[in-house]
Structure 1
Amino acid sequence: VESSMIYFGWSVRVMGFLVMPLLGFSRFAIQARLPPRKTSFFIAHAFKEVRFLMIVAAGFCCFIGMFTPLFFIPSYAVSRGIDATFASYLLAIVNAASTFGRIIPGVLADRFGKLNMFAIGGLFTGVIGLCMNTATSTASLVVYSIAFGFSSDTIISGASAAFSICTDDPRNLGTYMGRGVTGSGVRVLDTHSERLWAVCKYNSQPCHSRWQSVGQVGTNMEQEIDVVGW
């Protein structure tokens, strides 16, 4: 968003307004193939299944490094001398590539195995994430954004497909996916380490303590957003 009239708050609201009609349409256009189950909403025995817990743990580990480049690709591009306006478009490139990353691996999972595609997505995302510092030009950053967008969303589609092997009853699939993604997504709530890295970068101070004030972290993150032009 280049205009200074729209900030973070209204950016989130606009995204919500875009999603609402789409979800509203799907609510009335999609009909369940099977009747709902009569059992309890909460499936307690899911947390006793080793296969389910292992997939949740794998997703948790993948999320550790998956979201870090998404936060810092624009500011990293600016630090490499890229125009701030173009740097802000790199996230759009990541999201455009992620569209194919959610569709194609899901199709391939039916042929090569759901867990295999999930593992491949996690492996490639980790390798590509480590290559971020090698992208120093506009062309290389665009290629990096496309590669990371595709591979990172392979984790999302791969995890969803992997949870489907945990139950033989299709009516339980939504519950397994909801519990699994919630358990894996707990890692996303802990962004303190990424924000602490931003404080170190912009203050040029050694971060020997994790107990820095949240206000200081927020101030530096706002400065980062201002640099990129969001």
Structure 2
Amino acid sequence: MDGIIIERDATPPLADVIQHNDEQPRYTKKETLLTMLGVLLVMLLASLDQTIVSTAMPHIISDLQGFDRYTWVTTAYMLTSTVMVPIYGKLSDLYGRKSIFLIGVSIFLFGSALSGAAQSMNQLIAFRALQGLGAAALLPIAIAVVGDLFTPRERGKWQGVTTAIFGLSSILGPAVGGWITENTTWRWVFYVNLPIGMVALFVLIFLMPTLHQKVQQAKIDYIGAFLLVLGTVPLLLGFTWAGGDLAWTSAPIIGLFTLSIVAFIAFFGYEIRLAHRGEQPIIDPRLFKNSIFSISILVTMIINMGMFGSIFFLPLFAQGVLGVSATNSGLLLSPMMIALMISSIISGQLISRFGKYKWVAIVGLLITIVGMYFLYRLNVNSANIDLSIAMVIVGLGLGFGMSTYTIAVQNALPDKIGEATSALTFFRSIGGTVALAAMGSLMSSAYVPGFHSALPASLKQVLPAKLLNVFDNPNILLSADMQKQIQQQFRHFGPQGASIYNQLIEAVKIGLTQGIHNVFILSLVLMVVALVAAFFLKELPLRGSVAVKDKAQNLEGISHEVESVSPVMLH
């Protein structure tokens, strides 16, 4: 095998066969490069959309008057994309990745065009949901393609290339989104997807080869998909409404959570039944028998929950509390994304070189926890540099473990790459979606009492309650037009009007800071829990080698590991 003679029995052990197969090129150089070109374009399309829209959201909710539905623009997108991910993953395993890419990109572009034309907050939420139906096929399948093309150790090297796309979009996206919002209209944050998407479609149709897949008889699990939606939607509604419009202990909230629990129990029960009958469940319960898969699911869910607390609300803090413009708010996120890109490239090279991933995951979480602590310390008197330092540290930590769990899962389940990768993405999205809804509710419920407690007693006595209620929505911090209108009204108070207005605005900033502060606390706690869980991640040597000497050294270790692995994991 590659010039190495290993004296064993006449019949080579299964570990040798696995190692030999991993060393053989599965696709030609031309196929690999053209496929990766398509993959990188799809990644750019999906990641650029997320970063551009995130920065423009404060202006969008100001224009469409929808602060109370601020998180639902993203939640609706994540809900539909989350539900469809397992279905796309299963079909891509059966019929190949290329056709799934084409379907996903087409739906995504159609949803982008409609989102840009939305005339109300409810329309935007609906069109973003449609956009999410297409987005579900983009990043998860792109990651699965990388798993098809390269061995686990080789994927570490390519991690730098794929992360560079995320880094590029994360740096350009917010700046472009802010510039578009301030100089044209926020609608172009969606329309900009169209030219990029058309190029991606061209590459997928004419240049990307069809990866060799075994075509089998496919039967979509419609009942499972229905139960999945029935469990997810009430869960999101419950976390969104609880603590705001409705009390956590109110009958509607308890009813929503109960329905969600019952639906999820029915879903997993039905999936187990399908698996026993040899059919094709959306999420095969047998995957959870693999400890690497189970722990990776748990850790990535928790990390994604905490990550949303640090990333999604940062533009709101920068624009609302620090008074940063939309353009500069986007630029403010750049150090975090550059740090994430650098640390991800370094960690990928380390994983590829040493064939170990557990220590990388733990180090990444330790750094992230330090960054979360710095976010927790931010307040209304913080400067831009304080926010930047905290974000850089968080970026370094998140980058260190960005693709670690995907590499671990694909290494453990080589014959289930599409299904396992999509399942990992599904549960990661569930965690992020639930956290986003819950953190949005947490922020909103903490704002009003925070605002009123920050008001000077003298103002409460002088100003009518009707006027104070105008400031119960922090949207005023994001709208220059609204500020001008209210300042005009305060001129009726005479020379003291400007002073009163400034005190009210300061109280609004304090209230918003309190709400976001609570989100940062929750994110910090979640990252600590993720660190504890990461210690239980099993270390399985990565298949594929980077040097001849590594082949001989790792072969014996792989043999021992294979003996304890279930047949479903074998290549």
Per the normalisation by structure 2, the TM-score is 0.32
Matched, 1:157 2:336: no
Q: Which residue is equivalent to 2:332?
A: 90
Offset, 1:16: 6.0
Alignment partners' CA distance in 2, 1:120 and 1:23: 39
What code does the residue aligned with 2:438 have? S
Tell me whether 105-114 or 187-196 shows the greater mean CA deviation: 105-114
Offset, 1:26: 6.4
Offset, 1:52: 0.9
Alignment partners' CA distance in 1, 2:421 and 2:200: 21
Alignment partners' CA distance in 2, 1:55 and 1:127: 22
Higher relative contact order (CA 8 A, sep 6+): 1
Alignment partners' CA distance in 1, 2:418 and 2:346: 21
Q: Which residue is equivalent to 1:198?
A: 443
Matched, 1:125 2:368: yes
Alignment partners' CA distance in 1, 2:200 and 2:342: 19
What code does the residue aligned with 2:365 have? G
Alignment partners' CA distance in 2, 1:134 and 1:82: 18
CA 1:79–1:30 in 2, change beyond 3 Å: closer, same or farther? Answer: same
What code does the residue aligned with 2:329 have? A
Q: 1:179 aligns with which of 414, 420, 423?
A: 423
CA 1:117–1:132 in 2, change beyond 3 Å: closer, same or farther? Answer: same
What code does the residue aligned with 1:25 have? V
Contact kept? 2:364, 2:401, Cα under 8 Å: yes
CA 1:168–1:196 in 2, change beyond 3 Å: closer, same or farther? Answer: closer
What code does the residue aligned with 1:127 have? V
Q: Which residue is equivalent to 1:53?
A: 294
Tell me whether 61-70 or 196-205 shows the greater mean CA deviation: 196-205
What code does the residue aligned with 1:182 have? F
Alignment partners' CA distance in 2, 1:58 and 1:173: 19
Q: Deviations over 1:23-51 (max 9, x none)?
A: 7536765557x732456775733233232
CA 1:132–1:26 in 2, change beyond 3 Å: closer, same or farther? Answer: farther
Unaligned runs of 5+ in 1: 207-218
Q: Which residue is equivalent to 1:214?
A: none
What code does the residue aligned with 2:361 have? F
CA RMSD of aligned residues (A): 3.4
Offset, 1:80: 5.8
Offset, 1:139: 2.5
Provide the identity percentage: 17
Tell me whether 128-137 or 186-195 shows the greater mean CA deviation: 128-137
Q: Which residue is equivalent to 1:216?
A: none
What code does the residue aligned with 2:421 have? M
Question: Which stretches of structure 1, 4 residues or longer, exceed 3 Å deviation after superposition?
Answer: 15-20, 22-32, 37-43, 77-85, 219-227
Structure 1 counterpart SS, 2:346: helix
Q: Which residue is equivalent to 2:433?
A: 189
CA 1:61–1:139 in 2, change beyond 3 Å: closer, same or farther? Answer: same
What code does the residue aligned with 2:363 have? I
CA 1:5–1:138 in 2, change beyond 3 Å: closer, same or farther? Answer: same
What code does the residue aligned with 1:76 have? F
Q: Which residue is equivalent to 1:211?
A: none
Matched, 1:18 2:260: no
Contact kept? 2:357, 2:408, Cα under 8 Å: yes
Q: Which residue is equivalent to 2:37?
A: none
Alignment partners' CA distance in 2, 1:176 and 1:100: 27
Larger radius of gyration: 2
Contact kept? 1:160, 1:177, Cα under 8 Å: yes
Structure 2 counterpart SS, 1:156: coil
Aligned residues: 211
Structure 2 counterpart SS, 1:36: coil
